[in-house]
Amino acid sequence: MKVLSLPIAVTFIVCTACPVNADDNWVCSLDRKSQTAQKLFAVSQVAKAQWLKVSQDGQMFAFSGTNTANERGSRIWTCKADGSNMRDLGRGTMPSWSPRGRRIVFSREAPESGVWIMRADGGEQQILDNHGWGASWSPDGTKIAWHRTVAGAAEIVIHRIAEDDFDVVFGDRSSGVSQVLRQISWFRNSQGVTFVAQEKNRESICSVRLTDHTPPIVWRYQPQPGTGVWGAEWLDDQTMMILQHINARERQLFTVTVKADSATAVEPIRLSEEFGRRSNESVSASSDGAKLFFLSRD
């Protein structure tokens, strides 16, 4: 696979204007032990904030959104954990931090579509795959995964950074997966990936292990008819994860207990009334899995 290296000049913006309703988007946290959620800060600079990611040291957030409610195309934003130092890093969506927080991998829509990488300040932007989408950095920092569709087949690509090579680890038509959707999620031990799949007109969550030569789907979870799954985040080594269910009206968070490669229990996360009236999504876990961060939208 050919890798393109296209550095471009970038100017980041430190934002002070408030073009959208300051109460539309909240960045929130949930302590798993006490099950207590709290609003950390409102994002007044961005409309339609999505794809929140916390850095491994817990000091920074990255997310995507638009400057105004009617703007087409998302931009990548970063800020400190208290909401200060908000920066617009340019066009893109679905950011994912490197383990030390020095770089970000992200996706970009046309006319420069594909998987890109940049410094955390927005500089040195380079394209990795102009057919890729939904990239995510592995917790151990050695790999980046993304998906693409080639000749009608869904593929998952693993970029092994030190060797600067690429493996297609999932692309079997017999799997029944016609398309991989949205952003890849890594196992906590970096030995497998989880993704949203399109299967026979239904969305499901699937996982594959990278330790196998030709990774099979080791387990699937399908929501009830009429609902979908926006994304997933592992909280520990393959025993507990968070799903983001969606239906026609809202998005909410659920925990999933996984045993013997199957989803054995799916329970809604009970949030206080303050959050229950809002759509809660884009969950990102702290490095130890003890705290969840999510976006809450009016």
Q: Report the CATH number that the domain containing residue 217 is assigned in CATH.
A: 2.120.10.30
275, part of any domain: yes
Q: Which domain holds residue 21?
A: 13-297
- The mean pLDDT value for 169-180 works out to 76
Q: Whole-angstrom Cα distance, residue 159 to residue 164?
A: 7
**Position 5 pLDDT exceeds 50:** no
Contact 264, 273 (CB under 8 A): no
Asked which of 81-85, 269-273, 277-281 is least confident by mean pLDDT, the reply is 269-273
pLDDT digits (tens, 9 = 90+) for 35-62: 889 999 999 888 789 999 999 999 999 9
1, part of any domain: no
Residue 177: per-residue pLDDT: 81
Looking at per-residue pLDDT, the higher value among 102 and 205 belongs to 102
263, part of any domain: yes
Return the C-alpha torsion angle 38, 41, 44, 47, nearest 10.
Answer: -50
Secondary element (H or E) of residue 276: helix 273-276
176, part of any domain: yes
Nearest partner of 180 among 221, 152, 158, judged by Cα? 152
**Position 164 pLDDT exceeds 60:** yes
Tell me the helix, strand and coil percentages in the chain, rounded to 5.
0, 55, 45
Residue 18: per-residue pLDDT: 38
**Position 86 pLDDT exceeds 90:** yes
Quickly state the pLDDT bin for 23 (edges 50, 70, 90).
low
Mean of the per-residue pLDDT values of the chain: 83
Q: Whole-angstrom Cα distance, residue 181 to residue 163?
A: 27
Q: Please give the C-alpha separations between residue 75 and each of 83, 95, 106, 207, in angstroms, as whole numbers.
A: 17, 10, 10, 29
Quickly state the pLDDT bin for 1 (edges 50, 70, 90).
very low
Residue 7: per-residue pLDDT: 33
Q: Whole-angstrom Cα distance, residue 94 to residue 184?
A: 10
5, part of any domain: no
6, part of any domain: no
Q: Using alpha carbons only, what angle is made at residue 99 by residues 253 and 258, rounded to the nearest 5 degrees?
A: 35
Q: Whole-angstrom Cα distance, residue 147 to residue 291?
A: 28
Quickly state the pLDDT bin for 277 (edges 50, 70, 90).
confident
Contact 78, 87 (CB under 8 A): yes
2, part of any domain: no
Q: Whole-angstrom Cα distance, residue 239 to residue 258?
A: 5
Domain count, the chain: 1
106, part of any domain: yes
CA quadruple 152, 156, 161, 164: dihedral sign: negative
**Position 20 pLDDT exceeds 70:** no
